[in-house]
């Protein structure tokens, strides 16, 4: 493993290569770049994307010269994919003299990661956002076993030459440790949860807009199966309790048919930030995911949860997060409407201002980045 002198002014490059980065990922990296600038630390953020991807106005995004879209030939696409990957690691190598430590978002089935580790002289940590093998099971193909074998080989080689592992949840951290098997060269493990940009100057709420009936918010860009919206709706349909469930995001026709003609469900479709904030004024709590078991996961660190808390909404969820056990504004339970309403009524004794203030240290990107950077400087003895 590569070694460095201990440096309290550690220069770090956090980078990711993504063909189709979601808005959540773009936001995460933008908030991180802004937090680093605000903290005046030597932290640089880079998101590498294909040419012609419609993402503009972000200084931390660098676009490849290679196009990956609208290519009819499979062989041409494969060639461009390899070229795209190669250009990314060349770009990283160019920055080597400017930094002391690389933190790379781990890329599944990426042979170039190992080649990069061979030629780079600075330490490299991998940042993991998912359970890689379980991720491959989603949309399982005929070559699934081959993909698993290749990923296992790549992971082993990468681990031999890397210096540390970072993960957004404790579950992922434990998972990566289990994947190491007999490889014990990794000495450094860090937790770096997701966070959001916390606008301290714009947290103005009219706390008297709560209604007599409990209002619940459930947000997603698109409701995938692991969000468990179907489980929530199905349980609600079995009950005659009063509530208002505000569903924000794209949903399947099957769910639309279930909630049709039931005035307790209010479907908003997609809303922008201002519209979500306005809607939150009359809501009592937010719902996180309830079917992570469909991804073989029990813990997540979602931006949705952090957005709820920043709006003064306690969260009822079906999975663990990184919050301590005594954090009362995040409750784990089954998607049962009675339990959800009981929790909502219990949380009404707190003002939204209280919830926001007591959640800051767990969700503010600036605070989380500052802690992670301090942990790196303090614990990684270069």
* CATH classification number, 12-196+365-379, choose in 3.40.1360.10, 3.40.50.2000, 3.30.1300.10, 2.120.10.30: 3.40.50.2000
Q: What is the per-residue DSSP string for 19-75? A: SS--HHHHHHHHHHHHHHHHHT-SEEEEEEEEET-S--S-TTEEEEEEE-SS---HH
pLDDT tens track of the chain, all 382 residues? 444 344 458 999 999 999 988 888 999 999 999 999 999 999 999 999 988 777 777 888 998 988 888 888 989 999 999 999 999 999 999 999 999 999 999 999 898 999 999 999 999 999 999 999 888 877 666 778 888 888 888 888 888 888 889 999 999 999 998 888 766 667 788 999 999 998 755 555 555 567 789 999 999 989 999 999 999 999 999 999 999 999 999 999 999 999 988 999 999 999 998 999 999 999 999 999 999 999 889 999 999 999 999 999 999 999 999 999 999 999 999 999 999 999 999 999 999 989 999 999 999 999 999 999 999 998 765 5
User: pLDDT tens for residues 146-157?
Assistant: 888 888 888 888
- Calpha distance 124→104 (Å, rounded): 7
**What is the model's pLDDT at position 8?**
59
Domain boundaries, the chain: 12-196+365-379, 200-363
Q: Does domain 200-363 have CATH number 3.40.50.2000?
A: yes
User: pLDDT tens for residues 318-375?
Assistant: 999 999 999 999 999 999 999 999 999 999 999 998 999 999 999 999 999 999 999 9
**What is the model's pLDDT at position 59?**
85
CA distance readout (Å), 72 to 98, 135, 141, 218: 39, 27, 21, 39
User: pLDDT tens for residues 165-176?
Assistant: 999 999 999 999
Q: CB neighbours (10 Å) of residue 354?
A: 14
- Calpha distance 329→285 (Å, rounded): 9
Q: Which helix (H) or strand (E) holds 101?
A: strand 101-105
**What is the model's pLDDT at position 134?**
86
**What is the model's pLDDT at position 4?**
37
**What is the model's pLDDT at position 169?**
95
**What is the model's pLDDT at position 57?**
72
**What is the model's pLDDT at position 302?**
93
């Amino acid at each position: 493993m590569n070694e460095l002198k201990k440096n309290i002014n550690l220069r770090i490059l956090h980078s990711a290569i993504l063909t189709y980065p979601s808005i959540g990922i773009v936001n995460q990296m933008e908030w991180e770049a802004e937090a680093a600038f605000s903290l005046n630390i030597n932290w640089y953020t880079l998101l590498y994307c294909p040419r012609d991807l419609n993402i503009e106005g972000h200084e931390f995004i660098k676009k490849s010269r290679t196009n990956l879209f609208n290519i009819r030939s499979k062989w041409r696409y494969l060639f461009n994919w390899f070229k795209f990957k190669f250009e990314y690691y060349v770009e990283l190598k160019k920055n080597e003299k400017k930094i002391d430590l690389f933190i790379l978002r781990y890329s599944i089935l990426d042979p170039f990661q190992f080649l990069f580790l061979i030629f780079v002289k600075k330490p490299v940590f991998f940042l993991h956002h998912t359970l890689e093998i379980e991720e491959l099971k989603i949309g399982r193909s005929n070559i699934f076993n081959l993909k698993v074998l290749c990923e296992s080989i790549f992971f082993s080689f990468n681990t031999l030459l890397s210096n540390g592992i970072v993960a957004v949840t404790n579950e992922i951290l434990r998972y990566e440790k289990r994947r190491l098997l007999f490889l014990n060269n990794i000495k450094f493990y860090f937790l770096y949860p997701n966070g959001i940009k916390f606008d301290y100057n714009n947290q103005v709420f009219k706390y008297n807009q709560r209604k007599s009936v409990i209002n619940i918010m459930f947000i997603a860009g698109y409701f995938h199966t692991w969000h468990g919206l179907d489980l929530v709706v199905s349980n609600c349909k079995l009950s005659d309790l009063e509530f208002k469930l505000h569903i924000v995001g794209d949903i399947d026709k099957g769910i639309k048919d279930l909630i049709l003609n039931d005035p307790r469900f209010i479907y908003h479709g997609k809303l922008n930030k201002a519209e979500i904030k306005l809607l939150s004024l009359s809501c009592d709590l937010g719902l996180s995911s309830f079917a992570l078991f469909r991804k073989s996961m029990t813990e997540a660190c979602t931006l949705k949860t952090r957005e709820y808390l920043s709006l003064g909404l306690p969260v009822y969820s079906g999975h663990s997060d990184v919050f301590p056990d005594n954090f009362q504004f995040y409750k784990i339970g089954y998607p049962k409407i009675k339990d959800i309403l009981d929790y909502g009524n219990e949380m009404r004794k707190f003002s939204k201002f209280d919830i926001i203030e007591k959640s800051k240290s767990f969700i503010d990107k600036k605070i989380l980045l500052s802690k992670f950077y301090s942990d790196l400087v303090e614990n990684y003895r270069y």
